[in-house]
Structure 1
Amino acid sequence: MTTALLYALGAVVLLVGLAISIALHEVGHMYPAKKFGAKVTQYFVGFGRTLWSTKRGETEYGVKAFPLGGFVKIQGMLPPNPGDEPSVVRKSNTGMLTQLAFDARSAEYEHVAPEDEPRLFYRLVWWKKAIVMAGGPAVNLAIAFVLFAAVFLTIGASMATTTVAVVSDCAIPSAEAGRKCAADDPVAPAKQADLQPGDTIMSFNGTEVTSWDQLSRAIRANGDAPATIGYERDGSSESVTVNTSVEARTSLDDPDKVENVGFLGVAPTRGYERQDVGFVFTTMGDMTVQTIKAIGSLPEKMVEVTKAAFGAERGQDTPMSPVGASRVAGEITSDDETTVTDKVYSVTLMLASLNLFVGLFNLIPLLPLDGGHIAGALWEGIRNGWARLRRRPIPGPVDVATMLPVAYAVGAVLLVMGVILVYVDIVNPVRLS
């Protein structure tokens, strides 16, 4: 295949994967809603003009023009005005915020027939509402787990090995990483020791080396002391003693910290090692923590992205839209220096990470995100349970319509963010090299 075809293949695979993930996310809402007896009138993948639809039973299924999104229409998401039955929600209101809620209720019940009233969503008990709204994010998290497992249990995890890939010619401070060696830069200890790419380090100061992480920590702890390195070259065992130097390097345990540590001047090759299910859980747990931190830093990162729209340098750790993600996938699959296994590994992990992000992002307790509805259902359960304990009248369903102004504000912010990300991904995209 040509580079252009490989690029297109990677982009299409990622976009199709995202579209399928979105479709399954909506199934995660629709399936429990139907099981609990709520009436689902529409299931659509995408937004905008309808390209195709068909009706099965009481539900219309279809695809719209812009497939990167979707929705399920469950009747009765909003309760009627206090004191009104659903079929008579027609009273006028005063005040802008009150009017917003009134208009939303009117639209909600415009097509509700009297026989549908027992099946309205707001009539479900609180825990059923929570399950319906958590179903979508739960599906994304399940997809992420399945994709991580598929990669780590078959291909394996990409691990740094103890085989040398690169030997540095000189010692360059981490703050100046990327520049070439200068005449006054000290020669790297590995260069002095005549270590070569392909050498496999077997021991360090008499201790057997079993992993790159172990070796790296041993080198760092050695300071500027002598180090006896046992290695294997072309099937023969060799040994050399050289003083490691001390250089400023990023801490292995705290990426925001720089410390003076021992330096040898070798970089490892990477290989795949098959893992077990425990590794999948551990890795997904670590990535969940990282993703939550990334979501927390999203406002700050969006400032960087906005600056990039006006020509500033785009950081590789800035958020991307589906357009940007597909471009990165295209770069991965069109890279001539990577194997087919590398391409499958990288694109699959990318899709898994995107599902993890979508699942966690949707759990933010703000409308119109799923987390906002979940929070309302949980509050309803707490409030009604407290009333029962105090033997007071049950307050009934939480009126999420009162939070519609927040939903509109959050929706507007998300829309603006989406437009900015798509624009910057076109004019100043994230590049792998």
Structure 2
Amino acid sequence: MTTLMTVLGIVVFAVGLGISIAWHELGHLSTAKLFGIRVPQYMVGFGPTIFSRKRGETEYGIKAIPFGGFIRMIGMFPPGDDGKVTQRSTSPWRGMIEDARSAAYEELQPGDETRMFYTRAPWKRMIVMFAGPFMNLVLAVVIFVGVMMSFGVNTQTTSVGTVSACVVPASSATDKCPKDAKDSPAKAAGLQPRDKIVAFNGHRVADWSDLQQDIRRTTGPATITVERDGARKTLHANLITNKVAKSDGNGGYVQGQYVSAGFLGFTPANGVVKQSLGQSVDRMGTMVEDGVQSLIALPGKVPDLWNAAFGDAPRKADSPMGVVGAARVGGEVANLDIPPSQRVATMLFLVAGFNLSLFLFNMLPLLPLDGGHIAGAAWESLRRRLARLVRRPDPGPFDVAKMMPVAYVIAGIFICFTLLVLVADVVNPVRIS
């Protein structure tokens, strides 16, 4: 049964991956057709074609390797300086530029002269290239918010999980009570596990984050209203100042950092809680911020990834993970000892996280990513505006093809990184609990 559930989890993730890729390319396709650009191909996957069918002027199909997708637009790059779309050179760098330019015109047909990508206004080209990542962002937001509002998320609640027996600084190497340690304010007040705190100092408690902040701002006498066995009780505590883990502002903690603040002395219980629209949007914003920070920190994680793949180092929980690793996690999710509804929610979160990563990664202003084409169109728009301001001739389209040598180098780095992640995902995968 475990093997069956693992395979089912991998298949479900693979289907979600395919839908995400098709959705991304649909953004490019729909906006390209909206602006009259001819699109000969719309493909999900790479390599040999498994299935295809031509509708109108576009061939739609599925390819064998499901690690991406593409649409083929004619005239992605403008002609060369001599006005020709093909030319040859003995320079390898020049050859890269000319090969890219030639490929953009290989399916040119009579009447296509006004339907080429480069002939569209820069703002239209930016929309076409942005539409793909934007579709992934939309899908991520819809899934994240939908799951949080309907299924709920596993989060810290205002119910009591455990009560600290005594006062021990959070920075202490042990949580055992020294002989001379005082009882924690929570224990002295009679707080018990499974108590649900509904008010603190007479103020209604909305969630754990609010309660945490109220406690940390308080020293001295305080009243705590709890629900216990269906009845409400008011407890009286005397909070003290203690060294506690620094809060991240959302109920969590900043690892390894401590502050002096009000201390009550209990650990909140975790539970699945449905979120409001406002809470869901706020959490989504935090996820985007975390995603951006993770993307910035990506180069610094390569040494740890290398040691995990080819050495004896453990695979860190925040280690970069590829499609194979994510599919493997999908299999583990299907086997988690949690209610089926939470397995579904976790799987949806995994697909949503993939879409968010796809959006952020594609927005990097580097060729061959969508962000590189957006940056090229933005630069063209800027220099044309500057030319008009100083009354100089229109410089014409910006030739993105001239950046292809750099694009090949970047693509090579991406491929090497992808292979490194793939090896790590196979020999030392990220595991969940």
Counterpart for residue 301 of structure 1: 301
Q: CA deviation at 1:401?
A: 0.9
One-letter amino acid of the counterpart of residue 330, structure 1: G
Distance across 1 between alignment mates of 2:126 and 2:149 = 33
- Shift in Å at residue 372 of structure 1? 0.4
2:103 aligned with 1:107: yes
SS at match of 2:156: strand
CA displacement at 1:147 relative to structure 2: 1.1
Question: Which is worse superposed, 237-246 or 309-318?
Answer: 237-246
CA deviation map 1:97-146 (0-9, x unaligned): 22221232233333434443332211222122111111101111111122
Which residue in 2 is equivalent to 1:311?
312
What is the one-letter code of the residue matched to 1:406? V
- Residue 429 of structure 1 corresponds to 429
Q: 1:366-401: per-residue Cα shift (whole Å, max 9, x none)? A: 100000001111111122222233333211111011
Larger CA deviation: 16-25 vs 56-65: 56-65
CA gap 1:333/1:129 in 2 versus in 1, 3 angstroms: same
- Give the equivalent residue in structure 2 for 1:233: 228
| Correspondence for 2:23 | 24
Instruction: Report the equivalent of 1:215.
Output: 211
Find the partner of 2:247 among 231, 246, 251: 251
**Aligned CA distance change for structure 1 residues 157 and 335 (closer, same or farther; 3 Å):** closer
Q: 1:93 offset after TM fit, Å?
A: 2.4
**What is the SS of the residue equivalent to 1:270?**
strand
Aligned AA (1:216): Q
Residue equivalent to 2:326: 325
Is the contact made by 1:362 and 1:369 (CA closer than 8 Å) also made in structure 2? Answer: yes
Query: 1:219 touches 1:264 (CA, 8 Å); kept in 2?
Result: no
The corresponding residue for 2:42 is 43
1:199 maps onto 2:195 in alignment: yes
TM-score by length of 2: 0.88
Residue range with higher mean Cα deviation, 193-202 or 179-188: 179-188
Whether 1:417 aligns to 2:417 is: yes
1:318-341, Cα deviation, whole Å (9 max, x unpaired)? 2211222222233233112x2222
Residues 1:281 and 1:161: Cα distance change in structure 2 (over 3 Å): closer
Shift of 1:239: 4.1
Q: Aligned to 1:40, what secondary structure does the other structure show?
A: coil
In the aligned structure 2, how far is the partner of 1:376 from the partner of 1:191? 63
Question: What SS class does the counterpart of residue 254 from structure 2 fall into?
Answer: coil
CA 8–201 in structure 1, closer or farther in 2 if over 3 Å, else same: same
Identity %: 43
Q: Deviations over 1:338-377 (max 9, x none)?
A: 2222222222223222212211211111100000001111
Secondary structure in 2 aligned to 1:51? strand
Task: Flag structure 1 segments of 5+ consecutive residues without an equivalent.
Answer: none
Residues 53-62 or 21-30, more deviating: 53-62
Does the 8 A contact of 2:245 with 2:254 survive in 1?
no
Cα deviation 1:9-58 (Å, max 9, x = unaligned): 33322221121011111111111112222221111111122222222232
Change (3 A) 1:269 1:280: closer
CA distance in structure 2 between the aligned counterparts of 1:43 and 1:404, rounded to whole angstroms: 23
| Of 7-16 and 408-417, the range deviating more from structure 2 | 7-16
Q: Give deviations 1:153-189, integer Å, cap 9, x for gaps.
A: 4334555332223334566655578x77477695655
- Count of matched residue pairs: 425
